[in-house]
Amino acid sequence: MAVLMRAFYLVALGVFGLVFGSFANVVIWRLPRRESVVSPGSRCPSCGHPVRPLDNVPLASWLVLRGRCRDCGAPIHWRYPLVEGLSGALWVSAGLLFGLTARAGVAIVLFYLLMILSFIDLDVMRLPNVLVVVLAVAGVVFVAVSAGTGLPLAPLTWAPAAGLFASPLASALVGVAAGSGLLALISAGYRLARGRNGLGMGDVKLMAAGGLFVGPYVLLALFLGSALATVYGLSVAGLKKQPEEGVLLVPIPFGPFLAAGLVLAAAFGPALWSAYVHALSL
Ligand SMILES: [Zn+2]
C-alpha cells in the first residue's frame, strides 16, 4: 500500500510538473518582453492563431503535432517540450529527495524558479530582478517559519541535529553572506584584473537568494556551478576554434550553471559532506 501511495504521489508530482512546465514556457518567453503572463492565451508566433486546449497538452501535443503548428505548419521549437519535461523531472526529483513532506514543496519552489531563471538567462543574458525577488521572499518566509516553529522547511540542507549551524536562521544567514559575498569578491577581482565586468549583479543576488535555501552548502553550489561553467566554456571555445586570445571572451550566462549548482547542493550537499567527513576520519 505504501508503495502504491508513493507511486501515486510521484505520478501526481510529475503531472503537476508538466502542467507548470507549460506555464514556465509562457513566463520564459513573455517576462523579459514585459508582456503579461496571464493573458492573452497562447498563440502561434508565426500565424497568431490561438492554440487549442487539446494542442496545449504538455509533451503529448508536441509529439502528436510532430513539432508543427496545426494551422500554419510552422515548426514549434523543441525547447517547449524540453522545458515541460524538465519541469516534470524536477518536481518528481523533489518528491524522491524529500518524500511526502513540506520540504518537497520548498524544493519544488526552488527548482522551478531556478529553471525559469536559467532559460531566461540563456535567452537574454539577464536574471530578471522580479523573479530573483520572488525566490528570495519565498526563502525568507520558509526560513522564518522554520525558525519560528522548528518545522524543517528551509534551508533544505538544515538538519535539527547539525551542531555547527544549529538554527535554521544561522544556517540561512551564513548561506546568504557566503554565497553573495564570495561571488561579489570574485566579481570585483575580475573587474580589477580585466578592467571590465565578467559577472552580473544578478548572479550575486541569485546566490544570496539561493543561500536561504541551501545554507552553507551555497559554497558547494558555487564550486559546482563554476566547474560546470568552466567545462562548458572550454568546450564551446574548443568547438568554435576561436583565436587563442578570444577563448576567455566567449560570453556565457552564469545563471544556469549557478542554478544547477544550487539544485545539486540542495539534493546531495549534506550526503556529500558526511561522506567527506567520514572519509577523513578513517
Ligand atoms: Zn501557426
Q: Is the pLDDT of residue 77 over 50?
A: yes
CA of 69 to the centre of ligand 1 (A): 5
CA of 27 to the centre of ligand 1 (A): 20
> What are the residue boundaries of the structural domains of the chain, listed by start?
1-100, 126-282
CA of 43 to the centre of ligand 1 (A): 8
CA of 58 to the centre of ligand 1 (A): 17
Structure confidence by residue, pLDDT tens digits, 172-215: 999 999 999 999 998 888 888 877 777 788 999 999 999 999 99
The proportion of the chain whose per-residue pLDDT surpasses 90, expressed as a percent, equals 65
- Residue 45 or residue 238, greater confidence: 45
Q: If you average pLDDT over residues 139-161, what whole number do you get?
A: 90
pLDDT on residue 244 = 55
pLDDT on residue 234 = 82
CA of 104 to the centre of ligand 1 (A): 38
Dmax (CA) for the chain in angstroms is: 66
pLDDT on residue 10 = 97
CA of 75 to the centre of ligand 1 (A): 8
Q: How far apart are CA 19 and CA 57, in angstroms?
A: 8
Phi, psi for residue 126 in degrees, rounded to 5? -155, 145
Q: If you average pLDDT over residues 223-248, what whole number do you get?
A: 75
CA 14 centroid distance within chain: 17
pTM of the model: 0.92
CA of 47 to the centre of ligand 1 (A): 4
Structure confidence by residue, pLDDT tens digits, 82-123: 999 999 999 999 999 999 999 999 999 999 999 999 999 999
- Residue 137 or residue 3, greater confidence: 137
The proportion of the chain whose per-residue pLDDT surpasses 70, expressed as a percent, equals 93
Residue 247's pLDDT band (cuts 50, 70, 90): very low
Structure confidence by residue, pLDDT tens digits, 186-198: 888 888 887 777 7
Which residues are close to ligand 1, an ion, with C-beta < 5 A? Answer: 44, 46-47, 69, 71-72, 74
DSSP line for 104-149: HHHHHHHHHHHHHHHHHHHHHS---HHHHHHHHHHHHHHHHHHHHH
- In three-state secondary structure terms, 75 is strand
CA of 61 to the centre of ligand 1 (A): 14
Helices (H), the chain: 2-30, 60-64, 79-98, 102-124, 129-149, 168-194, 201-214, 218-240, 255-281
- Residue 233 or residue 269, greater confidence: 269
Phi, psi for residue 211 in degrees, rounded to 5? -60, -30
pLDDT on residue 133 = 97
